[in-house]
Amino acid sequence: MIRNGVFIYVLLFIILKVDAQSQPSLMINSLKQCDSNVSYPVEASVDFYIKDKKQFANGNATLKIPVGNDIRSNCTVEHRIGKRYFYLFSFVEKDVCKAIHKYLGEFSYEIERSAGLVPGLCPIPQGRYHVHDVLLNFDRITMSLEAFPYGDLRFTTVVIDKTNRVVACFIVTVKNSEA
């Protein structure tokens, strides 16, 4: 579902003179529910901190439903310029569980291990999960981070079940900088 975002995305690369050969360095600023007044079937609360120039996370997730192949997602990616975020592109995944493993790879497996899950297992069983002092190894993310512009990015992910019910909605803000 890429609209005029492709043109804007290319234009941003030119304007910002992004060097796609550089290795990016990520930092998650926040992970929040889209609407704190809604009780979603899938919820997460995560705190991030830095220690010895590495990022760690403590968090809780409650899955009132299993997250598997009948759950899809729509993710919108935006880039902040000044005080405003501008649309870059969106993508839709038919199976959110497989998409997590496809795009995040070993990064997600480490978090799953820390939460007591079997890495790469789909569906992710319903339950309450906790992670404590888990190191976020961004270099283990499968997708190419070089494709994203440097700066502040916002990922808004709406997770929908087969009845078109929103089961989760998260906004993740990330700082992507040159290492």
Task: Give pLDDT tens digits for 83-120.
Answer: 999 999 999 999 999 999 998 999 999 999 999 999 99
- CB neighbour list of residue 25: distance below 8 Å, 6 or more residues apart: 138, 176, 177, 178, 179
In the predicted model, is pLDDT for residue 6 greater than 90?
no
In the predicted model, is pLDDT for residue 20 greater than 70?
no
Question: Rounded CA gap, 138 and 122, in Å?
Answer: 22
pLDDT tens-digit profile of 117-144? 999 999 999 999 999 999 999 988 888 7
Question: Rounded CA gap, 85 and 80, in Å?
Answer: 4
> What pLDDT was estimated at residue 148?
82
Degrees, nearest 5: CA angle 93-143-1? 35
pLDDT tens-digit profile of 30-67? 999 999 999 999 999 999 999 998 999 999 999 999 99
pLDDT, greater one: 3 or 29: 29
In the predicted model, is pLDDT for residue 5 greater than 80?
no
If one looks up domain 5-178 in CATH, what number appears?
A: 2.70.220.10
